[in-house]
Amino acid sequence: MADAGGFRLASESDPTASAHLAGTILPGFRDAHVHLGLIDGAALLGGGIAVVHDFGWGLESARTWATDTALPEVRIAGQLLTAPGGYPTASGWAPSDASREVAGPDDASAAVDEQVDAGATFIKVTLNSDAGPVFDDATLGAIVGHAHERHVSVAAHAQGAGQAARAYSAGIDVLAHAPWSERLPDELIAAMAKAMSWVSTLDIHGWGKFNEGFAVANDNVRRFHAAGGRIRYGTDLGNGPLPVGVNERELVALEHAGLEIDALAAAIAPAPASGAFGQRISRISLPRQEDPAHWLAAARLIDHDNLEVHLA
């Protein structure tokens, strides 16, 4: 995190600061689980979100998002890979072309290739035994294996007893939601903390009116975080009444699960792998306050291309 003294600009040849941006500067905020097909994505930048991971939609639309300048930086999963008749084919929220049914292990490579060839940089599978059939181990393993061969990670929607454990055993890299179907055993949580990331999506469990799923997910997140697991801020935007922008309730929920300011900032403003900040940075002009969630939610984006207008 940049210090509260703000951000100093200097050229490579002359390291003396040439201008000063007051406040606190972080990498552009990321929502690591959205559905652009279900929201007005053009409102995200104004809401403080610079980067999104889209967790499933038809390829015809999804392949256009990465180059749409009205949108944040977008990574797409492409279609949701699911067992024949599996979630979300009968759930109502997703059009039929948002899902790709995978008939068995022999069909796994083709299904993965279709997504990657259309621009997907990760694969999303559904393992929702509450809402239909789920992949057998052989098919799931074939999908994960081929995705990794193509150098893309795999995220899973794991729902229903035992599905989060199956995702872990299959080598899934990311859980699309912090598990809420059951309290996971400590040993499983410890193993998962070494091997995968979880997208938080705590606020979908009641949207501020905490339900039973919220309590279970919150307890799992608390132990996963304490075990060193990596949490990504994500909201499942498009699913229920959520603000199109930074959701302060999601941050508050993570705070309640034990994430302190540095962990919260890392969850929503991950340092870019390259070391260079992305196209947009997040600026918090509020003085550093007691409540980290409220403070982070006050961030606004600045585009590198018009940085000058913000400089003091």
Binding site for Zn ion (CB under 5 A): 55, 236
Q: Least distance in Å: CB of 304 to Zn ion?
A: 30
Burial of 174 (0-12, 13-18, 19+ CB in 10 A): buried
Task: Give dist(CA 246, CA 294) in Å, integer.
Answer: 10
Q: Least distance in Å: CB of 227 to Zn ion?
A: 25
Nearer to Zn ion (CB atom), residue 21 or residue 155: 155
Nearer to Zn ion (CB atom), residue 236 or residue 255: 236
Copy the structure tokens of residue 192: 């998962």
DSSP state string for 156-225: EEEESTTHHHHHHHTT-SEESS---SSPPPHHHHHHHHHH-EEE--GGGTTTTS--HHHHHHHHHHHHHH
Q: Least distance in Å: CB of 164 to Zn ion?
A: 16
Q: Are 109 and 149 in contact (CB under 8 A)?
A: no
Q: Least distance in Å: CB of 236 to Zn ion?
A: 4
Residue type, position 35, single letter? H
Nearer to Zn ion (CB atom), residue 94 or residue 284: 94
Q: Least distance in Å: CB of 35 to Zn ion?
A: 6
Nearer to Zn ion (CB atom), residue 55 or residue 233: 55
Q: Least distance in Å: CB of 173 to Zn ion?
A: 16
Largest CA distance in the chain: 62
Task: Give dist(CA 2, CA 199) in Å, integer.
Answer: 24
Q: Least distance in Å: CB of 57 to Zn ion?
A: 10
Nearer to Zn ion (CB atom), residue 87 or residue 224: 87
Residue type, position 301, single letter? L
Nearer to Zn ion (CB atom), residue 25 or residue 83: 83
Q: Are 44 and 71 in contact (CB under 8 A)?
A: yes
Q: Are 260 and 217 in contact (CB under 8 A)?
A: no
Nearer to Zn ion (CB atom), residue 55 or residue 135: 55
Burial of 141 (0-12, 13-18, 19+ CB in 10 A): middle
Copy the structure tokens of residue 214: 């919220």
